[in-house]
Amino acid sequence: MEQKNDKKECSNCKKDKFLKELFDTYLPQKDNLIQMLNEAQEHYGYIPMYVQEELSQYLKIPMAEIYGVVTFYSRFSLKPKGKYNISVCLGTACYVKGSQKIMDRLQEKLGIKPGETTKDGLFSIEETRCVGACGLAPVFTVNGEVYGKATVQKLDQVIDELMSH
């Protein structure tokens, strides 16, 4: 006897090759949610609403639950990040050594606040609590690359260089 596939058809899979591949890779089991979200975050740079909707249907999980997971883990983002995602560590060691001045300068220079992206899509800012480089405090990162013993001047230099690319 043939088994009927109870997988819900993905309405965006014809136009979104990534989603089709994701659904071909993972069984429709709730336990796969985090890994599927991780892959979507890597692919898109954030978790688009239509991806959450497709995951909800595919995994038979309410949208509210998926939204709860996406907003609980700082790894996931609901908004696209800039080409250059800049994080400033505001953990104790970095804060004591002046990371707030770096964050203030970053906001002033780019004209955005943490969690926002510049209109041109080039830069986004995040606050972090620890990047595990306390010995290099204060620290900021650009797309995961660590800049230690940071100063406002070093930040300006890095941003100016990124802007010139």
Name the one residue in this structure whose structure tokens are 């606040």.
113
Domain 84-163, CATH class in plain words: alpha beta
Q: Could you tell me the pTM of the whole model?
A: 0.68
Q: Where are the domains of the chain?
A: 17-72, 84-163
Average pLDDT, the chain: 90
pLDDT in tens, 113-155: 998 999 999 999 999 988 899 999 999 999 989 999 999 999 9
What 3 state SS string does 34-59 have?
A: HHHHHHHHHHHCCCCHHHHHHHHHHH
45, 91, 118, 34 alpha-carbon torsion, rounded to 10°: 20
pLDDT band at 1; cut points 50, 70, 90: very low
Residue 12 backbone dihedrals phi, psi, to 5 degrees: -100, 0
Per-residue confidence (pLDDT) for residue 5, from 0 to 100: 45
